[in-house]
Amino acid sequence: MMFTLFPFRRRWLSIVLIFILWLSFQLLFTSCNPANFRTNAAQVSQWVTGTIGDPKTFNYPFNQEYPHVFLFTTEGLTTLNGITGKIDPALAESWKISDDKKQITFTLRDGLKWSDGEPLTADDVIFTYQDIIFNPKIPTDWKDGLKIGSSGAFPKIRKIDNRRVEFLFPEPFSPFLYTTAGSSTNSVGILPKHILEDNVKSNDAKGNPQFLSTWGTGTDPKKIVVNGPYQIESYTPSQRVVFRRNPYYWRKDSQGHQLPYVERIVWQIIESTDTMILQFRSGGLDTVEISPENFSLLKKGEKLGKFTVYNGGPRFTTTYIAFNLNKGRRQNGQPVVDPIKSRWFHTLAFRQAVAHAINRKAMLTNIFRGIGTLQNSPIEIQSPFYTPPGQDVKVYDYNPEKAKELLLNAGFKYNARNELLDADGNRVRFTFFTNAENKTRVTMGAQIKQDLSNIGIQVDFNPISFNTLTDKLANTFDWECYLLGFIGGPEPHDGANIWSPEGGLHTFNQKPQAGREQLIGWEVADWEAEIGRLYIKAAQEFDEAKRKEIYAQTQRLAQKYLPYIYLVNPLSLAAVRDRIENVKYTAIGSQAGTLWNKYEIKVAE
If we measure between CA atoms, which residue out of 540, 572, 529, 534 comes closest to residue 553?
534
CA angle 500, 502, 504 (to 5 degrees): 90
Cβ contacts of 50 within 8 Å, gap of 6 or more: 34, 267, 268, 269, 270, 276, 279, 280, 285, 288
Delineate the domains of the chain, giving CATH numbers in brackets: 44-59+200-314+572-603 (3.40.190.10), 74-196 (3.90.76.10), 317-569 (3.10.105.10)
Q: How far apart are CA 396 and CA 521, in angstroms?
A: 32
Instruction: Please tell me the predicted confidence (pLDDT) of residue 283.
Output: 93
Q: What are the backbone dihedrals phi and psi of residue 160, each rounded to the nearest 5 degrees, phi first?
A: -90, -50
Q: How far apart are CA 63 and CA 237, in angstroms?
A: 17
Q: Give the burial class of 399: count Cβ atoms within 10 A of its Cβ; 0-12 exposed, 13-18 middle, 19 or more buried.
A: middle
If we measure between CA atoms, which residue out of 550, 537, 337, 359 comes closest to residue 447?
359
pLDDT tens column, 45-79: 999 999 888 999 999 999 878 788 999 999 999 99
Q: How far apart are CA 490 and CA 586, in angstroms?
A: 13
% of the chain beyond a pLDDT of 90:
69
pLDDT tens column, 309-321: 999 888 888 899 9
H or E, element range at 241: strand 240-245
Least confident of 213-222, 311-320, 462-471: 311-320
pLDDT tens column, 264-295: 999 999 988 889 999 999 999 999 988 888 89
User: Quick check: pTM over 0.85?
Assistant: no
Contact 576, 601 (CB under 8 A): no
Residue 156 to residues 131, 168, 177: CA-CA distances in angstroms? 12, 5, 15
Q: How far apart are CA 248 and CA 113, in angstroms?
A: 6
Per-residue pLDDT band at 594 (split at 50, 70, 90) = low
Rounded to 10°, the helix 348-357/400-409 angle is 170
pLDDT of residue 527 exceeding 90, the answer is yes
Contact 354, 407 (CB under 8 A): no
Mean pLDDT computed over 192-216: 93
Q: How far apart are CA 56 and CA 67, in angstroms?
A: 11
Instruction: Please tell me the predicted confidence (pLDDT) of residue 552.
Output: 95
Q: How far apart are CA 104 and CA 158, in angstroms?
A: 11
pLDDT tens column, 352-364: 999 999 999 999 9
Contact 517, 498 (CB under 8 A): no
User: Within 10 A of 355 (CB to CB), how many other CB atoms are there?
Assistant: 24
